[in-house]
Amino acid sequence: MENNSIDVNVNLSIETLQSGNLTKTKISESGKFTQMGKSIYLRFNESLENGAKASILVKVGGNGEIHIKRVAKSTNLSSLLYFTHQKHNNGQLETEYGVLPLDTFTKDSKVEIVSKPLSGKINIDYDLIYDNNVIGNYKFRLIFGV
């Protein structure tokens, strides 16, 4: 997969609304863009405290479904979430204590990719759900380009 990867710059901003508290996270990193068949993959790292990193993989399938996998070895946390426009999906959070089922409801999603020069946007507005309770509202905004 790495042989046909293209180096890109990734800018990600995430707004999180949990229990009335709004948190904003911004990530700017270099990453890799790969296309295999009708699916595209974006890989990049998130810098954490103490010089640790979390690896992030964003996959957009040919059917428009978006998968986001985040692995932070230093904190023993990994998550795998799925997003389909206007649908509920099952995902999970793996901790050192076991696996927690997390669901998402994708309120809105939009993917735009331009091939020359390579650039794109992936926007997802979603609710994160645990045990049938919404635990947060999220706005995921990813922009990438060469």
For the stretch 25-64, pLDDT in tens is 999 999 999 999 999 999 999 988 888 999 999 999 988 8
Is 75 a residue whose pLDDT tops 60? yes
Q: Which of 120, 128, 124, 116 is nearest to 141 (CA)?
A: 124
The answer for residues whose C-beta is within 8 angstroms of residue 134's C-beta and 6 or more apart is 105, 127, 128
Distance of CA 41 to the CA centre of its chain: 11
The domain tally of the chain equals: 1
Give the range of the structural domain holding residue 78, as residue numbers without chain letter.
2-145
pLDDT tens figures, 115-137:
899 999 999 999 999 999 999 99
pLDDT at 49: 82
As a whole number, mean pLDDT of residues 56-85 equals 95
CATH number at residue 40: 2.40.128.20
For 95-98, the CB contacts below 8 A with 24+ separation are none
Per-residue pLDDT at 62 = 87
